[in-house]
Each structure stands twice: as C-alpha cells, then as structure tokens.
C-alpha cells in the first residue's frame, strides 16, 4: 500500500484574514489549492511565512514491523476482569473490522512545522486527505516515546497506520504535535493542552468544527491524551500567559483515543524492572514525574498520584477509547486495568478494546492492525 504525499512547509502560525480559506471538498487539485491558500499571513509570534515549493514524495508501504524488544509477552494472558465487561462490550459487541479489511488509496497532504506556542518544541503538522471525504472534526495526535523522545513525523509511517487510515479513508484532519520531551510533569501535558486550544482557535482557517476535536495518542502520548481528558478542568494544570484567542477556548476534547498507554505510570514502573533504560517504565516515570532519583521508587506517593490519569477523573470528562493488545510486552495491559476501573468508578465513560485476536506480533505495543476499526468509528461518531 502506497500513498503520495503533497507537502508544504511553513513557519507561520496564523494566516492573515485575507488568506483564510474554506476547505472545498473535491479533487486533489482543489484540496492542494486550499492548502496553499493557508500558507501565509501574519504570525501570532510575529514571524513571517517561509514557504517552499510543494514537493511530491512517496510514503513507504505501511506494513507494521514490531521491534524485537517489544515482543515479550506479559506473564499471564487473561480475559478482561469482570468489572470491565461493560466497557469491553461497547467495543466487542460491534462486529470486528480491522485495517486489513479496509481499502487505502488517497493522497496525504501536509503543512509542516506550524507554531502553536512560543517554544521551539511547540510545533505541529497538519495532515489531511486530498480526497473528498473530509470529516468536519479534527484529531490532535500525541506521539509516544516514554515522555523522553519521539516526534510528530511518525504520521504516515508503519507505526501509525490506524491514524493514516483515519486521515485517508475516514476524512479526518489530523494535527500531529511535538511537545517538551524529557521534561518534568506537567510541561508535556501543558503543551498538549495548549495545542488543543490552538486547533480550536484556528478552526476557521482549517475548515474544521471546533466542537469536534479529539485527543489521540499512542503509548506515552496515549497517556498524555487521556491525561488531558481528565485534567482539562483542573485550574492548576493550565498553561500560563496564554494569548486571548487561546485563553478564550476550552482545552476539553470531545473524546480521547488512547492506544497502549501507561495510564497508571506507577503500575508501569512495577512491571518494567530495568533501571538502566530511560525508556523503561521505572526510569521514564522517574524523569517524567520529576523525582529525585533515576528510578521510580524515588518518587513520593504524591508525585506518582499526580501523573496517574485516574486521579483527576470525574463525570464531566469526555469519553475515552482505550485499546491494548493482550501481548504488549512494553506496557502490560493487566497492570493498567486498575486505572480503567478507577476511571469507571468516577463515572467516566470508557470503551475498552482489549485485543486478543490476530497475529501475535500485531497484539503487541504497536497494535494498530488489531484495533476494532468499526468500534472506533462508532466511538468517534458517538462523541462527535
């Protein structure tokens, strides 16, 4: 499977009013014209546009290859606990449909390196299909990397095939963000919060509905997306000194999609005893939580609770679609189910896609191939 990528690079964060355009549904030529119309104008930070000639490249075939280091199965393979039956039924009662059952043929169009804040890390790429099936909503995508690495460029690689499907075949506009990695909590979360605000504040320019913005992430990015879903209304976890256009919109997404995420970082540390590896659970948690040592056992209970998604859950939170492969050897799903139970207890609506069917390699940390796409589509339809 191959896609052609039409790419426009820009530095401007905000097109001028004269350059604003409404997305016109239709051919690749019309879509590209709309994209070029976005690339210009004044910048919130004061910098001017920097536009290069559009280039067309070929995105490699999207076949998922899971690194050998992620193929270690957890110590036990059990069904989801009975307390998660209702959450699981929301997914598994939908006839199963996976990526291999679906077509992929459209072009991907990208505008790169748009500033959503004043810091060098606060940049995003806008992705959409050149085809006519443009969904009115937007997805803010948060990449993984144990809060210590990763990059927004993961879109259109073998490690984000589900997201690519949502762009090319479901018609979503995706904003893939960079954020501060290797920084102590709450810096990364505040960046995600700011990015969602920015997308809503700029919805007119990109032809999207600001009331249909979803937060979506994988691994540590899935944790941050889910964390935004439970902290959006916490006054102590909002970015400081926001410009008025961002301060005047809510960071609440209408829904959250969280794949293979360590929702409870302490439980991730308990299941990954490798202090020498900064991307291992315990080491990554210590850095992210801002603990005094290099291992999560140096963290205080308060620090660990502060980075647990379920700590902040309440009935006002958006619904969350949580997916996990039963053979994930990086973030073991069974240790994470406690966070889901606590989120449910706070009356948050949880859809739980616990993948036990499919090739063993696909039921690992990179699990896009076994997500129930029909159920995910139903979830997205329900929240938007």
pLDDT of residue 178: 98
How distant, in Å, are the alpha carbons of 97, 168, 280, 314, 323 from that of 103?
12, 10, 36, 38, 22
Partners of residue 255 on adjacent β-strands: 214
Question: In sequence order, what E strands does the chain have?
Answer: 3-9, 55-59, 108-115, 123-129, 138-142, 173-177, 213-218, 255-259, 320-325, 350-355
pLDDT of residue 35: 36
Predicted TM-score (pTM) of this structure: 0.80
- Does the pLDDT of residue 76 top 90, yes or no? no
Which has more pLDDT, 35 or 381?
Answer: 381
Pick from 3-12, 81-90, 180-189, 273-282: least confident: 3-12
Q: What is the average per-residue pLDDT within 177-201? A: 98
* pLDDT band at residue 38 under the 50/70/90 scheme: very low
**The domain at 61-264+308-383 falls in which architecture?**
3-Layer(aba) Sandwich (3.40)
Q: What is the average per-residue pLDDT within 251-270? A: 96
pLDDT of residue 278: 55
* pLDDT band at residue 174 under the 50/70/90 scheme: very high
- Does the pLDDT of residue 338 top 50, yes or no? yes
How distant, in Å, are the alpha carbons of 133, 188, 210, 291, 304 from that of 307?
38, 11, 27, 12, 6
Concatenating the DSSP letter of every residue in 314-350 gives -TTSPPEEEEEETT-SSS-HHHHHHHHHHHHHTT--E
pLDDT of residue 352: 96
Q: Please name the residue ranges forming H helices in 216-279.
A: 220-231, 244-247, 265-271
* pLDDT band at residue 275 under the 50/70/90 scheme: low
CB-facing half-sphere around the CA of 163: CA atoms within 13 A: 33
Q: What is the average per-residue pLDDT within 16-26? A: 31
Q: What is the average per-residue pLDDT within 372-376? A: 96
- Does the pLDDT of residue 74 top 70, yes or no? no
Residue 118 neighbours by CB distance under 10 Å: 13
- Does the pLDDT of residue 30 top 50, yes or no? no
* pLDDT band at residue 97 under the 50/70/90 scheme: confident
Q: What is the average per-residue pLDDT within 100-109? A: 78
Which has more pLDDT, 32 or 255?
Answer: 255
Six token digits for residue 202: 């700029």
pLDDT of residue 227: 98
Distance between first and last Cα of the chain: 29
What is the chain's mean pLDDT, rounded? 80
DSSP 286: H
CB 373 within 8 Å of CB 264: no
For residues 28 and 132, what is the distance between their CA atoms, to the nearest angstrom?
Answer: 8
pLDDT of residue 101: 86
Partners of residue 13 on adjacent β-strands: none
Pick from 56-65, 110-119, 138-147: least confident: 56-65
Cis-peptide into 211, omega within 30 deg = no
pLDDT of residue 277: 58
Tell me the angle at which helices 161-168 and 373-383 cross, rounded to the nearest 10 degrees.
60
- Does the pLDDT of residue 269 top 50, yes or no? yes
Please tell me the total number of residues recorded for the chain in this structure: 384
Q: What is the average per-residue pLDDT within 125-154? A: 92
């Amino acid at each position: 499977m191959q896609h052609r990528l039409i790419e426009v690079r820009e530095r401007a964060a905000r097109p001028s009013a004269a350059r604003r355009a409404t997305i016109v549904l239709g051919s690749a030529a019309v879509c590209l014209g709309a994209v070029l119309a976005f690339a210009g104008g004044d910048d919130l930070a004061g910098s001017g546009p920097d536009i290069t000639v559009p280039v067309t490249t070929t995105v490699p075939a999207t076949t998922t290859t899971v690194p050998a280091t992620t193929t270690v199965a957890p110590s036990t393979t059990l069904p989801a606990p009975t307390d998660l039956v209702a959450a699981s039924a929301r997914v598994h009662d939908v006839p199963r449909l996976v990526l291999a059952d679906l077509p992929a043929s459209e072009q991907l169009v990208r505008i790169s390196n748009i500033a959503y804040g004043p810091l060098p890390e606060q940049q995003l790429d806008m992705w959409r299909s050149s085809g006519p099936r443009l969904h009115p909503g937007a997805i803010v995508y948060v990449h993984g990397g144990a809060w210590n690495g990763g990059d927004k460029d993961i879109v259109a690689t073998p490690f984000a095939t589900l997201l690519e499907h949502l762009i090319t075949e479901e018609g979503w506009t995706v904003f893939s963000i960079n954020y501060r990695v290797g920084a102590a909590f709450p810096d990364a979360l505040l960046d995600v919060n700011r990015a969602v605000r920015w997308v809503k504040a700029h919805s007119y320019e990109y032809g999207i509905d600001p009331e249909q913005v979803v937060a979506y992430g994988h691994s540590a990015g899935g944790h941050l997306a889910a964390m935004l879903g439970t902290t959006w209304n916490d006054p102590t976890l909002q970015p400081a000194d926001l410009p008025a256009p961002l301060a005047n919109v809510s960071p609440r997404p209408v829904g959250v999609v969280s794949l293979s995420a360590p929702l409870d970082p302490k439980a991730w540390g308990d299941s990954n005893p490798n202090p020498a590896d900064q991307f291992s659970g315990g080491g990554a948690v210590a850095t992210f939580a801002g603990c005094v040592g290099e291992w999560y056992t140096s963290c205080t209970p308060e620090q660990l609770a502060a980075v647990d998604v379920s700590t902040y859950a309440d009935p006002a939170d958006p619904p969350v679609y949580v997916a996990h492969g039963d053979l994930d050897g990086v973030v073991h799903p069974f240790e994470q189910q406690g966070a889901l139970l606590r989120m449910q207890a706070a009356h948050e609506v949880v859809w739980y896609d616990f993948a036990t069917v499919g090739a063993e390699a696909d039921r690992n940390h990179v699990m896009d191939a076994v997500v129930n796409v029909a159920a995910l589509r139903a979830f997205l339809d329900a929240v938007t």
